[in-house]
Chains A and B, each alone.
Chain A
Amino acid sequence: MSLQPRTLFQKIWDKHLVVQEPHSPAILYVDLHLIHEVTSPQAFTGLRNRNLQVRRPDRTLATMDHSIPTTPLSLPMADTQAAAQLEQLAKNCAEFDIELFDMDSPWRGIVHVIGPELGRTQPGMTIVCGDSHTSTHGALGALAFGIGTSEVEHVLASQCLLQEKPKTFEVRVDGTLREGISAKDVILALIAKIGTAGGTGHVFEYTGTAIRTLSIEERMTVCNMSIEGGARAGMVGPDDSTFEYLANREYAPKGLEWEYALEAWRKLPTDSGAVYDRSITLNANDLEPMITFGTNPGMGIPITKCVPDPSQVGNADTRQSLENALTYMGLQPGQKLLGQPIDVVFIGSCTNGRISDLRLAADILRGHKVAENVRMLVVPGSQKVKQQAESEGLDRIFSTAGAEWREAGCSMCIAMNSDKVDPGQYAVSTSNRNFEGRQGKGGRTFLASPLTAAAAAVRGEISDVRTML
């Protein structure tokens, strides 16, 4: 083994490298393969056509999340196409002996919420899923990234992935986050700075005091949106917070195995003197609550600032993108976003659908009502999150305020079920994408933190949550 100081990424890469031939991508071993209903059916068809088996069902885990309804699950599904897709997943898992958390499972949830919460996601692992937000799992010190359906088939058949080695990109966040500023604001600020292609070809490693003080769930929020900055993966070196988070979770190692695991995990963090291909530093002290105004996650501003004016932009392509975005969003150049009336608030998704996110939103809503004419959906990221929230009485805070309390799922983040923003409506959403039509055809999305979203729900307009703390 090399004595050169190595990054966290390099250590995991080296350990999982099965074959590296000249002029070819690496063949990388995959420790955990997560699958869901939307990006797996064609991969199973491919396996059948080739008469192949799933190599490691024990390293494969399936859940239902993208297209399921979030209304009570005892009802028959109105969407027959989605129902058929879910049935296909159940059939595929039964045929190939893959563990599936189906509609009735208390462990079902969004694939990137359940992996960590059940302890399947562990430091040092390679994790893939046919979903770009797989980067979430990097919060525990894993190398995790989204893949396409052809690659899902490759991993099912071989437990390996062909992969060009990415470069490393240190995102250092120094300082301390002030009150009212959360992990979501950190990642939105980063993407606003580097753009949606800023991390293309790279893996982010988040370092610095502000990252160290984030909880594991908050680190998941940051890593989750790495893909929105163009990086396929984001990671944080595991530390005592990571180990505390994992201890005693359902699939975490136990007893002597836990001790062995800890010993290995403690060797994972980046060695001092290791070199990254690129670096950027943000100062947490300078951050404000962030919100997007446009149609990609890079179009974000501090909430007190004004929407940019395209006429002030020199580059013709950038100017055109900005003009298109403002037209779609129905916003004026130079206008303030504070005070902008909104129609919908969505709390949930693999970005901000965990228990700590629901607690933040509930704190703002406690004793308040959702503003008239605002529809608020609160969708827990998993059934376990739902149970936990209900045991803490958060569901009653939301319901009393007038919000809809739902079953777990991707819901209005991707609008594959009936949870949609209507054409022309404005939504403040804790999800990860403000692309045109992402939350429903013609819907307009402002991405923000759970705190900012809850503040908007109470006031009926975009508001600075710091005035409500």
Chain B
Amino acid sequence: MAQFTQVTSRVIPLPNRNVDTDQIIPARFLKVTDKSGLGEALFSDWRYNADGSEKSDFVLNHKHHQGAQILLAGDNFGCGSSREHAPWALTSWGFRSVISTSFADIFHNNALKNGLLPVIVNKEIHQSLFDLVEEIPTVALTIDLASQSITLPDGDALKFPIDKFSKNCLLSGIDQLGYIMSHDAKISTYETS
């Protein structure tokens, strides 16, 4: 599984609430049999005009956002379909972490399995981060998983929660299927009982 330890990056603000996986990657891009290249389809309908040119007013297209690895998203990010193509598209574009007040359950699970760190913050911190990015669009944050903290340019560190299992898996790149298979004997016992 993809590892995650730390990322320092500029931040792309996308305050829309309830961003669904159909926006993250529309269904017409799901007719693939591999994971590659999905970054081009990320937020496709918000990102491109009908003629395929980029919409200049969409945040992902801003010059100073190119190469950013942190998405600061609105509440309930990733609701809707179970498509893992959503985190594949986000990581393929270059994102390593998404910060929000909440994530839809399936997206949250899918993100963790792809080294895309979902960072949950409270409403106050969430708003203060949007304010910060508005004030200094090129501001860089450091997200550190081991210490479960977001470090601001002034050195302030904001804590975020994550369950121990996911944290360990991400830090060490532990394969979750490997964990399940290590209990193979118990699965066999269950099947015969």
Contact for B113 among A23, A130, A148, CB less than 8 A: A148
Nearest CB in chain B to that of A23: its residue: B164
Q: Does A117 contact B (CB under 8 A)?
A: no
Contact for A38 among B31, B35, B75, CB less than 8 A: B31
Q: Does A41 contact B (CB under 8 A)?
A: yes
Q: Does B66 contact A (CB under 8 A)?
A: no
Q: Does B144 contact A (CB under 8 A)?
A: no
Chain B residue numbers with a CB within 8 Å of A67 are: 30-31
Contact for A317 among B34, B74, B109, CB less than 8 A: B74
The interface size bin for chain A is 35 or more
Contact for A438 among B27, B84, B177, CB less than 8 A: B27
Report the Cα distance A227→B78, complex, angstroms: 12
Contact with A along B140-168 (1 / 0, CB 8 A): 00000000000000000000000111000
| B114 with A81: CB separation less than 8 A | no
Report the Cα distance A25→B163, complex, angstroms: 9
Contact for A148 among B26, B27, B84, CB less than 8 A: B84
Q: Shortest distance in angstroms between B168's beta carbon and chain A's nearest beta carbon?
A: 9
Q: Does B106 contact A (CB under 8 A)?
A: yes
| B20 with A147: CB separation less than 8 A | no
Contact for B34 among A41, A162, A201, A321, CB less than 8 A: A41
Within 8 A of B (CB), among A364-407: none
Q: Does A99 contact B (CB under 8 A)?
A: no
Within 8 A of A (CB), among B3-45: 15-18, 20, 22-23, 26-28, 30-35, 45
Contact with B along A95-136 (1 / 0, CB 8 A): 000000000000000000000000000000000001110000
| B28 with A321: CB separation less than 8 A | no
| A27 with B82: CB separation less than 8 A | no
| A164 with B163: CB separation less than 8 A | yes
Q: Does A94 contact B (CB under 8 A)?
A: no
If the complex has contacts A85-B33, A230-B79, are A147 and B106 also in contact, measured as CB distance less than 8 A? yes
Q: Does A84 contact B (CB under 8 A)?
A: yes
The interface size bin for chain B is 35 or more
Q: Does B181 contact A (CB under 8 A)?
A: yes
Report the Cα distance A147→B109, complex, angstroms: 9
Q: Does A200 contact B (CB under 8 A)?
A: yes
| A82 with B180: CB separation less than 8 A | no
Chain A residue numbers with a CB within 8 Å of B105 are: 166, 200-201, 230, 232
Q: Does A197 contact B (CB under 8 A)?
A: yes
Contact for A146 among B74, B82, B113, CB less than 8 A: B82
If the complex has contacts A196-B18, A197-B75, A414-B27, are A18 and B106 also in contact, measured as CB distance less than 8 A? no
| A131 with B23: CB separation less than 8 A | no
Contact with B along A403-438 (1 / 0, CB 8 A): 000000000001110000000000000000101111
Interface residues of B (CB under 8 A from A): 15-18, 20, 22-23, 26-28, 30-35, 45, 74-76, 79-84, 102, 104-106, 109-110, 113-114, 163-165, 176-177, 179-181, 183-184, 186-187, 190-191
Q: What are 10 of the A-B contact pairs (CB < 8 Å)? A: A29-B191, A82-B31, A85-B31, A131-B81, A150-B114, A196-B76, A196-B79, A232-B105, A436-B45, A441-B26
Interface residues of A (CB under 8 A from B): 18-19, 23-25, 27, 29, 38-39, 41-42, 45, 50, 55, 66-67, 79, 81-82, 84-85, 88, 130-132, 146-151, 153-154, 157-160, 162, 164, 166, 196-197, 200-201, 227, 230, 232, 296, 298, 317-318, 320-321, 324, 414-416, 433, 435-438, 441
